Structure 1
Amino acid sequence: MTIDAPDAKPGMAAGVPPQGIAPIFAALDLGTNNCRLLIARPHRDGFRVIEAFSRIVRLGEGLSVSGQLSDAAMARTIDALKICSEKMARRGVAVARAVATEACRRAGNGAEFLHEVKIATGIQLDIISTAEEARLALTGCAPLLEPPHREAIVFDIGGGSTEILWAKLPGGGRTEVIDWISLPYGVVNLTERFGPGDHDSGSYERMIEEVSAVLRPFEEKHRLSEKLKSGAVQVLGTSGTVTTLAGVLLGLPRYERRHVDGCWLDFPTVIEQSHKLAAQSVPERALHPCIGEERADLVVAGCAILESLYRFWPAQRLRVADRGVREGVLVELMRQSRQNGNRNRGRR
């Protein structure tokens, strides 16, 4: 749902900016593991971020077993959404969209939770399809897809699912989706099934095999591994898994987006680092400042998904994106706003 100034809901304040000043937009992405907010103002061909917020809420905790969102998970998430609502109100957001993904798609009580969110925060969440989630992620990452590549494999490893797109890059920053697939595996549900992952028990390899079984038909259909050999296909990953691994490999003393977003990594080295993390205990992983306690038990499941992708598509280089659905929502909101403005001017 897009919230414009005349119809702004409580907790999502909107106002008409002074003449000549661009309105403020907001995008909120509620996933299985994270709640992310981005507030921005249009700037040239893109936007300038005013404020960002991200919190691990683990909304999907226990969902793979119970089929329901737990009371504790919903309470944590509503607390984070209240902060988002306050930030949007304080910034005078004029246009906003809030989307929810896999946890709310799967949960038997997802609709009830959205109703509670609306009452508690004023935020109206849209549960989007896996197709829309994949498309928004691609839109958000498009600036990082560059010549001379003519095609791209883009993947988003989430908490409850993993979206993979094969896209054409016709030039001029444009992207065209050729095909996509949503895998029913993310870092939360894989960890709940297999544990925090390690080599000794074999759980790491079992996670890879399970993900690979679902991914194989997509590869057999498109033979992307053959296309990779031409060098014309770029591989890009967006998720906490790839950004965390980038922070580790870059040796950052603390996670900093400006060093990670858009960086290129040697893909075989990423897989080597994944093996090292799988060989560590959860407390050992937690010691790394780019992992910490909140991600220490989940990161290896993400590594397993990533290695499954690598085994099918062994690219030499991987580009990392600390951007995705939120940015895609913002781009589309601003594009729609410009189109509406042009239509209104045309009626005068």
Structure 2
Amino acid sequence: MRIAGLDFGSNTTLLLIADVVDGKVVNVLCDETRITKMGQGVHKSKKFHPDSLARVEQALKDYEKLIQKFQPDKVCGVATSAARDVENSHVLFEMAKSHGVPIEVISGTREAELTFRGAFADRAPEANSCVIDVGGGSTELIFKDGEKIVGQSIDVGSVRLMDLYGESDPMDQESFQQMRNYVRERLNPDWKSQNFEHGVAVAGTPTILAAMEMGLKDFDCEKVDGFRLEKKTLQDWMSKLQKMSLNEREQIVGLPKGRADVIVAGCAILFEFLDFIGLESLEVSIRGVRFGVVLDQAH
């Protein structure tokens, strides 16, 4: 069965069109990302910004053409943290519907389930594994407890934190420390007792950090997927990025200009999660919610 799965996140809008056979993604026809910053200002205003909606509509116009080209059997979109937080989500629903995309606003728990399933779309999860998904509005930590997927969504995301702490450029040391404290205070102490042995990181923050560490001028899925990010590497990048202006960050090889504004917060979130659960490294995965959506819709 051919499925188109769209993920309307707080920082990006993604489209995956893939063939699914016997519960596995066997052929990826299209895997696209647009930086739409749908979570811009949402933490304070509780409304989608008109500029954000304009960027999302442009992405939908692009994606509508791809959906028409590949003719999937089903089209399904999910909206996450930003859509959960706003009063005018109906504007997004109507816009997407006009481009042939139905949207479901999913809970943090549902988002976690789809993320875990998507992260391990290519294999069975290792024992005592967890998945960390650093989003624009929220971050999820997900793991398996027996046969049950357990996930918790925390309202710390790269766009949300830059809205709160990113007024100075470069970010001043006090704001940077306050941001890190904000993340730590919201982490669940129960996670420490899980004794995780293997961590997988999905979404833009880890994939871009991997590209930066490898100095990739052009993003290469094969090189990024499976790359191991060490805690020391994250710490080094976090220290460097905090001291750099936006203009300086935009010059970093491997860092797209559209992500240069939120990478400081994203890196800090990823480091704090990793440090808190006691792992020394994370495996980077290019998969995530959109893969989970495609697998879910194929049933």
Q: TM-score range by the shorter chain?
A: over 0.9
Question: Structure 1: how far apart are the matches of 2:192 and 2:16?
Answer: 37
Q: How far 1:317 moved relative to its partner?
A: 2.1
Aligned partner of 1:94 in structure 2 is 73
Identity of aligned residues (%): 30
Instruction: Tell me the amino acid that sits aligned with residue 161 of structure 2.
Output: L
Partner of 1:126: 104
Partner of 1:16: none
TM-score by length of 2: 0.92
Is 1:48 equivalent to 2:27 in the alignment? Answer: yes
* Correspondences of 1:95-110 after superposition (within 5 Å): 95-110=74-89
Q: Which moved more, 1:196-205 or 1:280-289?
A: 196-205
Q: How far apart, CA to CA, are the structure 2 residues paired with 1:254 and 1:30?
A: 24
Q: Is the 8 A contact 1:187 1:302 kept in 2?
A: yes
Deviation at 1:307, TM superposition (A): 2.1
Residue 207 of structure 1 pairs with residue 174 of structure 2: no
CA distance in 2, matches of 1:224, 1:208: 22
Unaligned residue ranges in structure 2 (runs of 5+): none
User: Who is 1:35 aligned against?
Assistant: 13
* C-alpha RMSD over aligned residues: 2.0
Q: Residues 176 and 234 (structure 1 numbering): CA distance in 2 closer, same or farther, change over 3 Å?
A: farther
1:25 positional shift? 1.5
Cα separation, 1, equivalents of 2:27 and 2:178: 43
Q: Which has the larger radius of gyration?
A: 1
Q: 1:139 to 1:35 in 2, by over 3 A?
A: same
Q: Distance between the aligned counterparts of 2:122 and 2:265, measured in 1?
A: 25
Q: Is the 8 A contact 2:231 2:271 kept in 1?
A: no
Alpha-carbon deviations, 1:265-293, whole Å to 9, x = none? 22222222221122221111111232132
Aligned to 2:138: 161
- Residue 222 of structure 2 aligns to a residue in which SS? helix
Aligned position for 1:71: 50
Q: Taking structure 1 as reference, are residues 141 and 246 closer, same or farther at Cα in structure 2, changes over 3 Å only?
A: same
Task: Encode CA deviations 1:287-330: one digit per residue, 9 max, x unaligned.
Answer: 12321321111100111111221331231221011110010111
Distance 1:310 1:111 in 2: 36
Q: In the alignment, which residue of structure 2 is the partner of 1:192?
A: 163
Q: Distance in 2 between matches of 1:100 and 1:74?
A: 13
Corresponding residue for 2:61?
82
Aligned residues: 297
Match runs of 1:7-22 below 5 Å: none
Q: TM-score, normalised by structure 1?
A: 0.80
Contact 2:75–2:102 (CA<8 Å) still a contact in 1?
Answer: no
SS of the aligned residue for 2:29 comes to strand
- State yes or no: 1:248 paired with 2:220: no
- Taking the aligned partners of 1:115 and 1:126, their CA distance within structure 2 comes to 12
Aligned-pair CA distance for 1:144: 6.5
- Cα displacement (A) at 1:47: 2.1
Residue among 323, 326, 329 paired with 2:287: 323
Kindly state the Cα deviation for residue 71 of structure 1 after the two structures are TM-superposed: 1.6
d(CA) in 2 for partners of 1:30 and 1:62? Answer: 16
Q: Name 1:283's counterpart in structure 2.
A: 247
- Separation in 2 of the partners of 1:257 and 1:322? 7
Aligned with 1:223: secondary structure?
A: helix
User: What is the alpha-carbon distance in structure 1 between the residues aligned to residue 170 and residue 131 of structure 2?
Assistant: 27
- The yes-or-no answer on 1:332 pairing with 2:296 is yes
Q: 1:306 to 1:47 in 2, by over 3 A?
A: same
> Contact 2:192–2:276 at 8 Å: present in 1 too?
no
Secondary structure of 1:323 counterpart: coil
Structure 1 unaligned runs (5+)?
Answer: 1-22, 337-348
C-alpha displacement of 1:146: 6.2
Q: Name the CA shift for 1:181/1:136 in 2 (closer, same or farther; >3 Å).
A: same
What secondary structure, in the 3-state scheme, does the structure 2 residue paired with 1:262 have?
Answer: coil
Contact 1:69 1:109 in 2 (8 A): yes
224, 231, 234: which is aligned to 1:260? 224
